[in-house]
Structure 1
């Protein structure tokens, strides 16, 4: 079954990034956001956590083989490159990344999927479940 990864409404959810907690690339994205998110807008939910599994099911993401990161912002759920753009759009230095959302959707999804399918081989896995100190209170494993 093919999932439609276009942005869609998800009322009541804001400021969450659902990510693959064992993926080194995904964890690097979380650290990237933490360094730049001085206002503390974003909270992070590993898909392997109880809350992450429930959220993944609600979004159509397989928690055993997550196909995408999800960003929940202002009542909308964003996936794949749209998810990254939803986070980066607040930072002027990263505004150029919006061009990625202008790519034809089939091309953008193929590009994202190519990296996602090979992320463990290219970047590795981590078994570390303990968040670093700068993430204290910002990584959610249970529903708020």
Structure 2
């Protein structure tokens, strides 16, 4: 799903400049479920491919607004890869596939139509705080991973 042309955020004065030479994951830093996903990616991203931004940061909030997303109710992670934003199930499946073997097999689920995948994604997203809870403060990376977090 491409909501806007590739790298359109570079022309948006409300979006601060950021390093986009690697795929970037924008996530809800207060959501324990979402932070767990980021920890999973950090553990399995052996090539250090992904960079991360919390949705609560000024840059994360600007990106959510740029893509027409609710910047207070973060019901999707955003994967920005090659300047294109991928949301919901598409973004998550691409994130997983980008981790390399054996996670590349997650891409198989992309054969299912979004009309099936996205409602399942949305069900989990709407209930993520009930499923895993919420942090009182935003996710803080470990010192060894701090360089992979933007803003």
Shorter chain as normaliser: what TM range?
0.7 to 0.9
Could you tell me which runs of 5 or more consecutive residues in structure 2 were left unpaired when the two chains were aligned: 11-19
CA contact (8 A) 1:24 1:126 kept: yes
Q: Distance in 2 between matches of 1:40 and 1:97?
A: 19
Deviation digits for residues 105-131 of structure 1 (CA, Å, limit 9, x no counterpart):
111111011000000001111124332
Structure 1 residue 102, shift from structure 2 partner: 1.6
TM-score, normalised to structure 1, is 0.85
* Partner-residue secondary structure (3-state), 1:17: strand
* Partner-residue secondary structure (3-state), 1:127: coil
Q: Distance in 1 between matches of 2:2 and 2:88?
A: 10
CA contact (8 A) 2:89 2:114 kept: no
Q: 1:37 aligns with which of 20, 42, 45?
A: 45
Could you tell me which runs of 5 or more consecutive residues in structure 1 were left unpaired when the two chains were aligned: 1-5
Alignment partner of 1:121 is 2:130: yes
State the aligned residue count: 136
Q: Which residue of 2 aligns with 1:21?
A: 29
Which runs of at least 4 in structure 1 moved beyond 4 Å after TM superposition?
none
Q: Distance in 1 between matches of 2:117 and 2:66?
A: 24
Q: 1:72 aligns with which of 69, 80, 84?
A: 80
Deviates further, 71-80 or 111-120: 71-80
Structure 1 residue 88, shift from structure 2 partner: 2.0
TM-score, normalised to structure 2, is 0.81
Over the residues paired in the alignment, what is the CA RMSD in angstroms?
Answer: 1.7
Instruction: Map residues 1-144 of structure 1 onto 2, 5 A cutoff.
Output: 6-8=1-3, 9-11=5-7, 13=20, 14-90=22-98, 91-129=100-138, 130-141=140-151
